[in-house]
Amino acid sequence: MRAHYLQHASFEGLGSIGPWLESAGYEITVTKFYESTSLPNPDQIDLLIIMGGPMSVNDEEHFPWLRSEKQFIRDTIESGKAVLGICLGAQLIASALGESVYPNRRKEIGWFPVEGIPHRQESTFLFPPSVEVFHWHGDTFDLPDGAVHLARSKACENQAFQYDEAVIGLQFHLETTPETARAIVTNCREELLPSVFVQPETVILDQSPEKYLIINELMADILYFLSKKTIDSQVK
């Protein structure tokens, strides 16, 4: 199986996702938009992962490749492939499906809990009732038509959603490791302005290994869920 990921900034890579994909036997390929805009044929991939980035999905004048990226995401979803969007990636999925992306009433940066929204649909991923996760976002989006709302937080209502059986969007970063947390702080430190839902650098980085383990395991659960959907569809 082949997993292709879309990277928008050199400091926002796969984090814990990379080792999981390798252990699951995926061939991993990438489009780094800050180097190249070449995209594969959706038919040639099994899982698409869309990473975060400092730009807005609406910045098409400054980043013209956003138009082709959104079309590629739409084509990949329509082809029935599994898709995971993280932060900017979730916003790109929403935009590709025709929804609006706009500034949230507050930025959310640091470690804050999200609340899983209960449902009884067996084909939909279920989040825990509450889990503290890593955030770094200022925008939000309207849920795509027909999507299932999976999680919310005090600062942001639409934290996670699932569209159809194999498309998941997350506003937060479950892939974060101590190394990737330091990288985003180093490159985006100017955003750490005092606010209710913006933590100082020392708090963001002074976290226990167990906290990273919890979110990385939850990311693994999501990846397994999406991979199983891919395998099931191939069997059919």
pLDDT tens digits, 92-103: 999 999 999 999
Give the chain's domains with CATH numbers. Answer: 2-235 (3.40.50.880)
Sole residue written with tokens 């084909």: 123
Residue 149, classified by CB atoms within 10 Å of its CB into exposed (0-12), middle (13-18) or buried (19+), is middle
Q: Has residue 47 got a pLDDT over 70?
A: yes
Mean pLDDT of 156-180: 98
> Residue 86 above 70 pLDDT?
yes
Of 21-25, 116-120, 148-152, 222-226, the range with the lowest mean pLDDT is 116-120
Give the pLDDT band of residue 236 (cuts 50, 70, 90).
Answer: low
Please give the order of strands across the beta sheet that includes 2-7.
Answer: 27-32, 2-7, 47-50, 82-86, 167-170, 160-163, 148-152, 101-116, 130-141
Percent of the chain scoring above 90 in pLDDT: 94
Mean pLDDT in residue range 42-63 = 97
Question: What is the rounded CA–CA span in Å between residue 167 and residue 172?
Answer: 16
Structure token pair of residue 59: 């910045």
* Whole-prediction pTM: 0.96
> What is the pLDDT at residue 150?
98
Identify the pLDDT of residue 230: 72
Residue 161 clears pLDDT 90, i.e. is over it: yes
What is the overall mean pLDDT for the chain?
A: 96
pLDDT in tens, 202-220: 999 999 999 999 999 999 9
pLDDT computed for residue 80 by the predictor: 95
Question: Does residue 9 carry a pLDDT above 70?
Answer: yes
Q: Which residue has the tokens 């082949």?
A: 2
Give the pLDDT confidence score for residue 231 in this predicted structure.
Answer: 67
1 pLDDT more than 90: yes
